[in-house]
Structure 1
Amino acid sequence: MIYIENNSKNPYFNLALEEYLMKNYPNDDDILLLWQNDNTIVIGRNQNAYEEINVKQVKVDNVKVVRRLSGGGTVYHDEGNLNFSFIKKRSSNVVNNYYHFLQPIISVLQKLGIYAEFSGKNDILIAGKKISGNAQYANSNKILHHGTILFNVDLLKLGAYLNVDPLKMQSKAIKSVQARVTNILPLLKNKITIMEFKDLIITELLKGENKKVILSSEQLEEINKLAIAKYASWEWNYGIAPKFQIQNKKLYEHKGTVTVGLNVNAGIITDIKISGDFMGYYGTEIIEQQLVGCKYDYEHIAGQLQNINIEEIFGVNFIASEIIDLII
């Protein structure tokens, strides 16, 4: 196994790196990556970003959103989270064999005095709380297994940015996403840094051998191109979504009730109708016509409405941000 050094905290680059190594690395060495993202939400390959995240709060706090190659659920990353990736030659004994990849991580935790255990299909738990979730992606030649390790993550942000499926919450009989997870650092008797923890994993996996690899400038250039063209694109992160319908209704005190119903297909608004008892005199058709064909994205919608007189349509004291919030 070789360890490829990667100190980037840019999520678009980091996920592009995984794809590049799967498709273009010139030999069949098993590969280990350890990496971090800064202030990022990573969504699963098959998920609808609009269902999974608090779009408004993500925009306000400038949180990056990126879709990964593998399936599974949405996760929040900050610099207190350590991510690991294994890339191996595809074979029947590793595909869907999550324990095979997680056993070394569990071994490191146990050496630190933490009783961690493999649970369910793809998790590591400590005292019933999740500290690692994992997913896999395979092509005809290679398999990618990657996971998260909650070392010292800001757990409050999980609830602020993620829309947790209430069915999952009910099935586990708990009230919040924070209650399901825990960090490693508070559980350590002898405190270490996340970089020291990272080094312990490298030592465990490489068995003390010096097999660290640094990618060439040409390889890094190719990865950056992929990061920009694919992983940083709206089309990849938001446009991959099933058809869905939304209806929002809100009473604005002393101004009236506004109801917005819309259809979205592949991240594009295909139909929208605005109604209510608001006191505007111009009619809503101009907004509806302006938004059909628009990306279902806060900034794009705001751009479409910037030259429209909101008070003419909705009444005195209405502002554009109220209508945008209702649409999103």
Structure 2
Amino acid sequence: MQQVIVIEKSFEMPWENLAYEECLMEFADRTGDVYILFLWQNRNAVIIGRNQNPWKELNFETMHSEKIDLARRITGGGAVYHDLGNLNFTFILPKHVYEEKKTPQIIVDAMDLLDIKAEISGRNDICCNGKKFSGSAFSVKEKVGLHHGTLLIDVNLERMMKCLTPDKAKLISKGIDSVNSRVINLKTEDDTVTIESVKKAIKTIFLEEYYKESIELKTNCDIDEKLFSDLIQLYSSHDWIYGENLENFEEVSSKFEWGLVSVKLQFEETKVVKCVIESDALDANTIEQLSLKIEGINLDKDELQNLLEWSKEDFIPEQKKIVNDIIYLIINKIRE
């Protein structure tokens, strides 16, 4: 039976919130025809994208002195700062209705209820007066799509700016010189806005879009408790958060319209024994698939041509663009 579930719930640690979110996705994928809105918050924390290198993105001295937690999520995109002035939203929808480009419109429409003019911009931004107050990322499973993001309502922007040290290429591409110059709190636009008023607006638009009287409406979900416990252990582990530290590797980097990328290759003679692709691309799964596909091959003309043929068969055009850009980046490096 079709269900709509609206959950307002937060755990103490960021790893718990991320684990709970993934459990909701697993529940929806297992159950079918489920529409979930999850509204949640983290205390002071930085959440990096699935394929990012934290050592390149963050100021660890500030994070340590300010007691700011670090976590890594399953989706792509860039690093984000959370505190209790930020509200996180997660939409989990059946795959037949999930649209990556459409889902952020729920936030735009919610802002309209609050008399705040918002617009979707770039890869994953929602802006007000040209400044970003929301970023989002996505993940797709067999039966469902997950789209989650942040909402800067009354965030400590000074602390955020100290924590986040993005690649200068990202800032230059946006025509700005710092994180602080491109973001805005909603309270700056309207000082009557609160976490609760934003929650109410999002819930209103979500229910208008997906809830009908014949559908069961719930405010909780029976997640797999063992999976929840296992995921907390994973998300809080050093290996998951900090990733693999390669030694004696070749590296090539570039910026594309879909994001920044750095490819690290470890060789035994001409064979690639380890490939780590660091990126803020929104499509984390495609990056991981390519990384695994490169491992074990010899970087010669035939093997690289096989990779290009593989990309034609297994990917939609947006994914194929990411794969081909990275492969040609490697090819050009080899030709140097």
Range into which the TM-score falls when normalised by the shorter chain: 0.5 to 0.7
Shift of 1:11: 1.1
Q: Which one of 202, 214, 237 corresponds to residue 220 of structure 2?
A: 214
Look up the equivalent residue of 1:84 and give its one-letter code.
Answer: F
Q: What's 2:70 paired with?
A: 65
Q: What's 1:116 paired with?
A: 118
1: distance between equivalents of 2:248 and 2:147? 30
1: distance between equivalents of 2:12 and 2:175? 35
Shift of 1:238: 0.6
What does 1:40-59 align with in structure 2 at a 5 Å threshold? 40-59=45-64
Is 1:118–1:125's contact at 8 Å kept on the other side of the alignment? Answer: yes
What does 1:33-182 align with in structure 2 at a 5 Å threshold? 33-91=38-96, 94-95=98-99, 97-98=100-101, 100-182=102-184
2: distance between equivalents of 1:84 and 1:132? 10
Q: Deviation per CA, 1:292-318: give whole Å up to 9, x if none.
A: xxxxxxxxxxxxxxxxxxxxxxxxxxx
2: distance between equivalents of 1:154 and 1:244? 40
Structure number with bigger Rg: 1
Shift of 1:9: 4.4
- Provide structure 2 residue ranges, at least 5 long, that are not aligned to the other structure: 250-263, 267-336
Is 2:186–2:193's contact at 8 Å kept on the other side of the alignment? Answer: no
Q: What's 2:198 paired with?
A: 197
Q: Deviation per CA, 1:142-175: give whole Å up to 9, x if none.
A: 2111111111111111221111211122223322
- Percent identical among aligned pairs is 39
Is 2:94–2:145's contact at 8 Å kept on the other side of the alignment? Answer: yes
Q: What's 2:293 paired with?
A: none
Shift of 1:89: 2.0
2: distance between equivalents of 1:243 and 1:105? 43
Is 1:89–1:143's contact at 8 Å kept on the other side of the alignment? Answer: yes
Look up the equivalent residue of 2:126 and give its one-letter code.
Answer: I
Give the superposed CA RMSD.
2.5
Shift of 1:243: 5.6
Shift of 1:196: 2.3
Is 2:138–2:145's contact at 8 Å kept on the other side of the alignment? Answer: yes
Look up the equivalent residue of 1:3 and give its one-letter code.
Answer: V
Distance verdict in 2 for CA 1:48–1:244, change over 3 Å: farther
2: distance between equivalents of 1:199 and 1:240? 41
1: distance between equivalents of 2:203 and 2:227? 23
Q: What's 2:280 paired with?
A: none
Q: Higher RCO, 1 or 2 (CA under 8 Å, sep at least 6)?
A: 2
Is 1:122–1:135's contact at 8 Å kept on the other side of the alignment? Answer: yes
2: distance between equivalents of 1:244 and 1:11? 33
Shift of 1:220: 7.1
Q: Is the partner of 1:70 in helix, strand or coil?
A: coil
Look up the equivalent residue of 1:228 and give its one-letter code.
Answer: I
2: distance between equivalents of 1:13 and 1:212? 21
Number of corresponding residues: 242
Q: What's 2:292 paired with?
A: none
Q: Deviation per CA, 1:220-252: give whole Å up to 9, x if none.
A: 74354134311111111112466688xxxxxxx
Is 2:92–2:144's contact at 8 Å kept on the other side of the alignment? Answer: yes
2: distance between equivalents of 1:15 and 1:244? 33
Structure 1 range deviating more: 143-152 or 167-176? 167-176
Distance verdict in 2 for CA 1:225–1:109, change over 3 Å: same
Q: Deviation per CA, 1:19-40: give whole Å up to 9, x if none.
A: 1122234343111111111101
1: distance between equivalents of 2:245 and 2:137? 20
